């Protein structure tokens, strides 16, 4: 996030309450405090199929894994491992400008995919500690440094999709798909006044998109669910839209099913390393 925006948050962050709208039920919001170097700034999260294990990344090229503890389906604690630095292609710790890690997806084989903003918009695959640079679409170079490949999702068949935070030139959001060895434009999504910050697929092949906007006094979040038939968008519905300041700056999204078979959306916030913000993990139950 640009320094100008950080300053605006610091100067105007207030408390407002309102009634949220939508078809989702809030399960809980857990504030995750931890005295560990690098904790915060989370931009992506992925959960295991049963929702107990997680991997998360921050926008400062860090990654952490752990377990989520729940009682009666509500988060009560986090058991997290060490916060580790992501490595670059040479095996060195990534510089901050080159390591603005934003989107996160985990493949069926356990490989971790991360999309980056900053000086080079790209997607890397980590099959362990060391990355592989995936092909790049020519349009990636046209994206702004702070509005580039924010969202990353992988479908049930292992196909990778990515999309930018900001729709370029007022056009619809492009959704690129890695088809074999190159990216193509799979479809577009209508720009409805929010920034697009993360995406994930459910077990029925539906795409979920987490959106966010900053309104000067706080954040507002929204999740859309898109039903696809190949490259055709069949439906695009809003599952929920939070009240202003109901949650912090939600940036990561993972879709899974609980023990009862209900769909869950787990989201994590980017506190921008600002004391007035917080790292929280928010969960909603949504209809099928």
pLDDT in tens, 93-108: 988 778 899 999 999 9
For residue 7, being part of any structural domain is answered with: no
Q: CA 39, CA 104: separation in Å to the nearest integer?
A: 17
Residue 6 lies in a domain: no
CA distance 208 to 178: 18
Give the separation between CA 69 and CA 78, rounded to whole angstroms: 6
Count of structural domains within the chain: 1
| Alpha-carbon separation of residue 258 from 86, 100, 118, 146 (angstroms) | 31, 32, 36, 35
Give the tokens for residue 89.
């292609």
Q: In this structure, what token pair is assigned to residue 233?
A: 């968008």
- Determine, yes or no, domain membership for 14: no
**pTM value?**
0.90
Cα(191)–Cα(168) distance, integer angstroms = 10
Beta bridge partners of 144: none
Q: Which residues contact 232 (CB under 8 A, 6 or more apart)?
A: 187
| pLDDT tens digit at each of 288 positions of the chain | 444 344 433 333 333 233 334 479 999 999 999 999 999 999 999 999 999 999 999 999 999 999 999 999 999 999 999 999 999 999 999 887 788 999 999 999 999 999 999 878 999 999 988 999 999 999 999 898 788 999 999 999 999 999 999 988 879 999 999 988 899 999 999 999 999 999 999 999 999 999 999 998 999 999 999 999 999 999 999 999 999 999 999 999 999 999 999 999 999 999 999 999 999 999 999 999
| Owning domain of residue 79 | 23-286
Q: What is the pLDDT of residue 199?
A: 99
Answer yes or no: is 196 within a domain.
yes
CA angle 269, 273, 278 (to 5 degrees): 45
> Does residue 18 lie in a domain region?
no
Whether 2 maps to a domain, the answer reads: no
Task: Give domain status of residue 172, yes or no.
Answer: yes
CATH of the domain at 221: 2.120.10.30
């Amino acid at each position: 996030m640009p320094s100008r925006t950080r300053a605006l948050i610091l100067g105007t962050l207030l408390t407002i309450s309102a009634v949220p709208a939508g078809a989702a039920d809030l399960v809980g919001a857990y504030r995750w405090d931890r005295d560990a170097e690098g904790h915060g700034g989370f931009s992506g999260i992925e959960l295991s199929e049963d929702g107990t294990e997680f991997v998360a990344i921050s926008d400062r090229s860090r990654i952490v894994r752990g377990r989520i503890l729940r009682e009666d389906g509500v988060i009560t604690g986090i058991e997290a491992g060490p916060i580790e630095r992501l490595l670059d292609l040479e095996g060195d710790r990534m510089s901050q400008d080159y390591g603005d890690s934003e989107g996160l997806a985990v493949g069926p084989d356990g490989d971790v995919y991360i999309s980056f903003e900053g000086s080079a918009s790209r997607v890397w695959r980590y099959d362990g500690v060391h990355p592989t640079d995936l092909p790049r679409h020519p349009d990636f170079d046209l994206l702004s440094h702070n509005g580039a490949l924010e969202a990353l999702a992988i479908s049930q068949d292992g196909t990778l999709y990515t999309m930018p935070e900001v729709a370029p030139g007022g056009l619809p959001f492009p959704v690129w798909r890695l088809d074999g060895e190159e990216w193509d434009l799979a479809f577009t999504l209508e720009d409805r006044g929010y920034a697009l910050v993360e995406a994930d697929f459910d077990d029925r092949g539906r795409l979920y998109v987490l959106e966010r906007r900053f309104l000067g006094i706080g954040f507002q979040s929204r999740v859309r669910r898109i039903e696809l038939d190949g490259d055709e968008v069949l439906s695009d519905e809003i599952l929920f839209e939070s009240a202003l300041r109901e949650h912090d700056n939600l940036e990561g999204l993972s879709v899974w099913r609980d023990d009862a078979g209900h769909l869950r959306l787990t989201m994590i916030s980017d506190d921008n390393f600002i004391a007035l913000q917080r790292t929280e993990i928010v969960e909603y139950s949504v209809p099928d």
